Amino acid sequence: MPAPLEGITVLDFTRYQNGPHATVMLSDMGARVIKVEQPNEGDPGRWLGRQPDGFCGYFEALDRGKESITLDLRNEQAKEIVFQLVERVDVVTENFRRGVMDRLGIGYEALRERNPQIIYAMNSGFGPQGPLANLPSFDIVAQGISGAMAGMAGEDGVPTQLPWGLADQVGSMVFAYGIVTGIAARELHGVGQRIDVSQMGAMATLQTLSIVRYLHTGEQGARFRNPLFTAYEASDGRWLTIGVLTPKWWGGLCTALDRTDLITDERFAEPFARFEHRDELWSQFVSIFRTRPRDEWLRALEEHDVPCGPVYDYEELSAEQQFWDNDYLVELDHPLFEGHRTVGIPVAFSETQPRVQGPAPELGADNAAVLSELGYDADAIADLAANGVI
C-alpha cells in the first residue's frame, strides 16, 4: 500500500525551522518534497550547530527525505523553472518575510495563474493582517509577544525562554495541519487556495487553556506547584513523575506510598482541601519519595494503576525500548554516517503506513534529476550551472 500522501508533490521554499519541519512531516507521510535553495549558500539551517565531522543535527532533523535543487530566484531563467515546476506540483510552501515572494514575481497570484489548483502555504511571524503583518520574526519574538515567556517567568519575574525553538516547532505542526487540510479541501471541493499560518497564531493555540481562562476571569493564571502533578526525587537521586486527577488515583497513590492515612486526613481528603494545603502535601511527598529508589516507587505505583513514569535524559530515552518498538526512534541508512539514528514518525496507520524516506540531501543533489523531468538535457543543465541559475 502507498504511504498516506504518496502522489502529492511539494515545492518547498522554506528555511530554518518552522517551514522545514512542516514539510519533513509531509515527507514522512509519503509526499515528494523538492526543496529550493540558494546556489552555493543553501538553507542557513545547514550550518546551525554543524559538527567537526560535518554532521548538522538541525538540518538533518528538519530536511530528511527531501530532494534539493538550487535556484537563484533573482534570475529570470530560475523563475521560469519555478513556473514549470508549479504546473506539476500540488503544494508550494514558503516562510519568507511577507511580500518577498511577490517581489520576486513568484507569489501566490503569479503561481495560481500557472496552476489554479495550487495550494500556496505561507508561515509568517504575525499572520496576514494587522500592523505587524510585514515585520520580521524569529522564534524568540513569537515566544515573547504571545505571552509564553511571561507565563513561564519564575518568582523573580524574569521572562523564561522556552526550549526547542518552541514557537517554530509548534508553528510547523500547525503549518502541516493547514497544508493537509488544504489538500483535503481541494480533493473534496475542487479548489486550490492560499493558506496562512503564523508563529503568533500557533503560540496562541498552544496556550489555549491559559488564554481562555484569562479572557473570562482577567486572571493571568499564576504558576503554582501541584503536588499531584509533578516530579519527585527518589533516594537514588533519580526522578519520577506522577499525574493524579481522580479520587481513584488519589487512593491508589496513597496506598502505593503506604500512607493510607492521607486518604482520610481532613487536610487532603477532598480535591479542594488538597489544593488549599498543597504546600503541606508537597512537603510530605518530598520526604516520602526520598525513602526508596526510583524504580521501586515506579513498580509500586504501577501496581496500583497510578499514572507515573521516570524522568529520563536523552541517554536513558535512547535506551528505552518503548520508543523503538513504536518507531518513535528509528535507524536510518545514511551515506556519510554509519549507524545513523533519528526521531521517527509519531503516527501509525494500519494500511497506508508512512516511513522516514531518507537522510537530508546535499545542496543541489537533485538538480539534474528534477530538471531532466522538465525536459532539460545535460547540455542545458550545464549551461544553467555556468550562468549561475542553479
**Strands 329-331 and 341-343: what pairing?**
antiparallel
Asked if residues 17 and 62 have their Cβ atoms less than 8 Å apart, the reply is: yes
291: its cell numbers: 525513602
pLDDT band at 248 (very low <50, low <70, confident <90, very high): confident
39: its cell numbers: 546556489
Res 355: pLDDT: 93
Q: Which amino acid is at 381?
A: I
Asked if residues 102 and 73 have their Cβ atoms less than 8 Å apart, the reply is: no
Name the nearest CA neighbour of 244 among 265, 283, 276, 271.
Answer: 271
Q: Where are the domains of the chain?
A: 9-210+327-386, 229-312
107 to each of 73, 121, 192, 280, how far by Cα in Å?
12, 11, 14, 60
Question: Using CA atoms, how far apart are residues 285 and 306, in angstroms rounded to an integer?
Answer: 15
Asked if residues 21 and 102 have their Cβ atoms less than 8 Å apart, the reply is: no
Asked if residues 170 and 202 have their Cβ atoms less than 8 Å apart, the reply is: yes
- Tens digit of pLDDT for each residue in 17-65? 999 999 999 999 999 999 999 999 999 999 999 999 999 999 999 999 9
pTM tops 0.75, yes or no: yes
CA–chain centroid gap for 386, Å, is 38
Query: For helices 166-189 and 18-28, what crossing angle results, to 10°?
Result: 50
Question: Using CA atoms, how far apart are residues 237 and 242, in angstroms rounded to an integer?
Answer: 16
Residue written as grid cell 522516514: 356
DSSP 8-state class, residue 361: P
Asked, colleague to colleague, whether 9-210+327-386 and 229-312 share their fold, the answer is: no
Q: Which CATH class is domain 9-210+327-386?
A: alpha beta
Q: Specify the higher pLDDT residue, 157 or 257.
A: 257
Question: In a 3-state reduction of DSSP, which class is residue 52?
Answer: coil
Among residues of the chain, what percentage have pLDDT more than 90?
Answer: 89
pLDDT band at 104 (very low <50, low <70, confident <90, very high): very high
Q: Judging by beta carbons within 10 Å of its beta carbon (0-12, 13-18, 19+), is residue 206 exposed, middle or buried?
A: buried
End-to-end Cα spacing for the chain? 36
- Tens digit of pLDDT for each residue in 163-212? 999 999 999 999 999 999 999 999 999 999 999 999 999 999 999 999 99
Q: What dihedral angle (degrees, nearest 10) is formed by the CA atoms of 185, 190, 193, 198? A: 10
- One CATH from 3.40.50.10490, 3.30.1540.10, 3.40.50.620, 3.40.50.720 for 229-312: 3.30.1540.10
